[in-house]
Structure 1
Amino acid sequence: MKKIISILVIALTFTMTSNAQESMSKEEAVKTVSLEQTKGQFTQKKLTLSEGSYVFEISNNNVGSDVGFVLVQKGKDASKPENHIKTAYVTKVVNNNTKEKTNVTKLVKGEYIYFCPMNPTPQYTLTVK
């Protein structure tokens, strides 16, 4: 009976360790993309990324007002909020001379546009290969 209990404890420990390592590797796979806004524009005019999970860190570099971030699949009407990728919204508006992050956003192959509706900026291209 002691052998069976020992085997069960070892199996349970192995399973818990394996699950914890899997969770950690998923978290490590999230990459951060830093974007800077100045008055009326992003300093990064075009991005090329690989498929995966991303957090966008948006910097407000002395714009003089709050800024935000919108990401939309190319070809969809960016003026309609229902087409926005909601996880790519900053979690809080970006005050002057501060940074804020988005939630984790999974990107698949294709083209997207990004812009700030508050600053406002032109629409820029983000390509996922």
Structure 2
Amino acid sequence: MRRIIVVLVLLVGFSFQGNAQQIKTVALEQTKGEFTQKSISLSEGTYVFEIANNEVGHDVGFVLTPEGKIDEVNHIKNAYVTSLVKNNKKSKTKEVVLTKGRYVYFCPLNPTPQYSLVVR
């Protein structure tokens, strides 16, 4: 019985470890009026976006939405930063599952242009 429990614990541990390795972080930096990374190309998967505020002078945020659908109702809510990004600080989003397609990202607080994110 102990061997079965040990095997189950090990399997569960490896399962959690495998899932953690599948989440990738995309680091983006905002300066006054723009993101420094103008476009992104990713493969399908689960991502966390880390947004850095580099001397913007006020709080910034992050919006990710399917291309052509920038109204708030279409925003990918998990892609909002968990807290506004203070000047010279960083903040992350929740996990975002991206499927093949075209998206745009921008910050309405900075404000920035819309930038392209393509998932292949």
Query: In the alignment, which residue of structure 2 is the partner of 1:64?
Result: 57
Greater C-alpha Rg? 1
Query: In the alignment, which residue of structure 2 is the partner of 1:82?
Result: 73
Query: In the alignment, which residue of structure 2 is the partner of 1:31?
Result: 24
RMSD: 0.8
Query: In the alignment, which residue of structure 1 is the partner of 2:96?
Result: 105
Distance 2:50 2:11 in 1: 31
Gapped runs of 5+ residues in structure 1?
A: 1-7
Distance 2:13 2:67 in 1: 37
Moved over 4 A (4+): none
| Alignment: residue pair count | 120
Pairing of 1:8-27 with structure 2 (within 5 A): 8-27=1-20
Structure 1 residue 113: Cα displacement: 0.4
Gapped runs of 5+ residues in structure 2?
A: none
Structure 1 residue 9: Cα displacement: 1.9
Query: In the alignment, which residue of structure 1 is the partner of 2:112?
Result: 121
Query: In the alignment, which residue of structure 2 is the partner of 1:53?
Result: 46
Percent identity, aligned pairs only, is 53
Output the TM-score relative to the length of structure 2.
0.96
